[in-house]
């Protein structure tokens, strides 16, 4: 079968996914999410029509979830947004950022391997209500290529965005030979979508962190531009531990090693992390789920990293009402409610519909409703052990 036939098959599968799978497939994972005001946008990833489906799972479906009113997690008001005449890439494990004037920018991610789809050349796509989806060109030094399974973070109010790490191979980079091995990267790219520019912040110095993928990157405010905190991840030869963290200072443009204390988060990949603020300079990063390095165990536990003390707290596993283990999900903190979207679950679980869950970070418990009007407070009992 020729490459053209493979590509045609994927387009048919994707089209079917948009009309049949979405917005309520059997299970979705590896999607990209971003919040603009009171709307959560969900783009791409993979989705199965039925249990056991192994091919044709990549999708470019585009969904919205309103956050200005309450809803039951059993019937969230997900809506599908038409792609119009555009054909943005069906990619998984990339990043979705907020852009100027209510726009979204999609960068990174990998294309289908079953069946194989050749990556497209444009690494960035833009969406807004007036123009829909189209490619976006940014100015910068050197060629910007698509990197998969890196970690994205963004300053508040749609400020500069960052993409750290990931890998390059024939499933992500246009023109990459199938005979060339995967290459991991430790690069840190800064996007200024207002100015339409990008730059590589990596210096190649000895302080640069270990190359990694499947981690998270969280922007934390400070007196200046803020910090970027990397959690978890690994590569083919090394798994990253979380007792000493890689933290990038946006004011000095340097990576540093930050020791931690407490109940350290074990090595973790494909988890999610969100930021809460309990005071002028006190922050908490909540980490949920993920899997171990060799993908033999998936988790449903919750950890908290306090900043600036950098103390880990183990909240617990199997907390009341928990939705089960999951990996490849995304999370968004709205007030005191952490909204969880998708993720691969237990192997013997038939489906995970609709795949929307709410965790109350203050009460350290899972809920069956989203309220949308709660205020964030420091967890009442952060060391709860669960059942």
Q: What pLDDT is stored for residue 298 in this prediction?
A: 94
Q: What pLDDT is stored for residue 80 in this prediction?
A: 94
Rounded distance, CA 87 to CA 230, Å?
32
Q: What pLDDT is stored for residue 9 in this prediction?
A: 26
Rounded distance, CA 318 to CA 80, Å?
32
Work out the angle at residue 153's Cα, subtended by the Cα atoms of residues 150 and 156, and round it to the nearest 5 degrees.
Answer: 170
Rounded distance, CA 23 to CA 39, Å?
15
pLDDT tens digits, one per residue of 153-204: 999 988 999 999 999 999 999 999 999 999 999 999 999 999 999 999 987 7
pLDDT tens digits, one per residue of 94-121: 999 999 999 999 999 999 999 999 999 9
Q: What pLDDT is stored for residue 20 in this prediction?
A: 32
Selected residue with higher pLDDT from 18 and 154: 154
Grouping H, G, I as helix, E, B as strand and the rest as coil, residue 11 is helix
Per-residue confidence band for 317, with pLDDT thresholds at 50, 70 and 90: very high
49: alpha, beta or left? (left if phi > 0; alpha if psi -120 to 50): alpha
Read off the tokens for 221: 């405010």
Grouping H, G, I as helix, E, B as strand and the rest as coil, residue 81 is coil
Q: What pLDDT is stored for residue 280 in this prediction?
A: 80
Q: What pLDDT is stored for residue 77 in this prediction?
A: 96
Answer yes or no: are the C-beta atoms of 268 and 232 closer than 8 Å.
yes
Mean pLDDT is lowest, of 30-39, 92-101, 124-133, 195-204, for: 195-204
Inform me whether the pLDDT recorded for 5 exceeds 70.
no
Per-residue confidence band for 8, with pLDDT thresholds at 50, 70 and 90: very low
Q: What pLDDT is stored for residue 205 in this prediction?
A: 75
Answer yes or no: are the C-beta atoms of 242 and 216 closer than 8 Å.
no
Nearest to 43 by CA among 22, 66, 69: 22
CB within 8 A of 279, min separation 6: which ones?
Answer: none
Answer yes or no: are the C-beta atoms of 247 and 256 closer than 8 Å.
yes
């Amino acid at each position: 079968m020729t490459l053209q036939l493979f590509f045609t098959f994927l387009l048919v599968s994707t089209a079917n996914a948009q009309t049949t799978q979405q917005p309520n497939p059997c299970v979705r994972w590896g999607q990209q999410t971003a919040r603009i005001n009171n709307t959560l946008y969900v783009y791409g990833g993979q989705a199965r029509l039925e249990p056991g489906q192994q091919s044709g799972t990549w999708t470019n479906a585009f969904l919205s979830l309103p956050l200005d009113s309450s809803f039951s997690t059993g019937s969230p008001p997900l809506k599908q947004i038409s792609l119009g005449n555009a054909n943005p890439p069906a990619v998984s494990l990339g990043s979705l950022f907020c852009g100027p004037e209510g726009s979204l920018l999609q960068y990174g991610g990998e294309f289908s391997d079953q069946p194989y789809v050749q990556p497209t050349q444009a690494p960035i796509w833009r969406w807004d209500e007036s123009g829909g989806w189209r490619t976006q060109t940014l100015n910068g030094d050197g060629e910007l290529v698509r990197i998969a399974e890196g970690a994205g973070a963004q300053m508040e109010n749609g400020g500069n965005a960052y993409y750290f790490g990931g890998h390059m191979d024939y499933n992500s980079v246009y023109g990459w030979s199938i005979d060339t091995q995967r290459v991991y990267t430790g690069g840190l790219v800064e996007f200024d979508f207002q100015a339409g520019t990008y730059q590589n912040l990596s210096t190649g110095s000895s302080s640069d962190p270990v190359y990694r993928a499947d981690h998270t990157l969280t922007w934390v405010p400070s007196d200046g531009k803020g910090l970027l905190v990397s959690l978890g991840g690994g590569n083919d030869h090394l798994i990253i531990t979380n007792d000493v963290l890689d933290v990038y200072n946006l004011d000095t443009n340097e990576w540093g090693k930050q020791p931690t204390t407490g109940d350290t988060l074990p090595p973790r990949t494909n988890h999610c992390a969100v930021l809460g603020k309990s005071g002028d300079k006190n922050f908490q990063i909540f980490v949920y789920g993920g899997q171990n390095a060799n993908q033999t165990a998936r988790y449903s536990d919750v950890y908290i990293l306090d900043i600036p003390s950098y103390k880990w707290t183990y909240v617990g596993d199997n907390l009341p009402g928990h939705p089960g283990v999951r990996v490849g999900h995304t999370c968004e903190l709205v007030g005191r409610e952490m909204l969880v979207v998708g993720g691969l679950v237990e192997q013997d679980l038939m489906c995970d519909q609709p795949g929307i869950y709410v965790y109350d970070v203050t009460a350290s418990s899972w809920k069956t409703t989203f309220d949308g009007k709660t205020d964030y407070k420091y967890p009442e009992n952060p060391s709860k052990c669960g059942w």
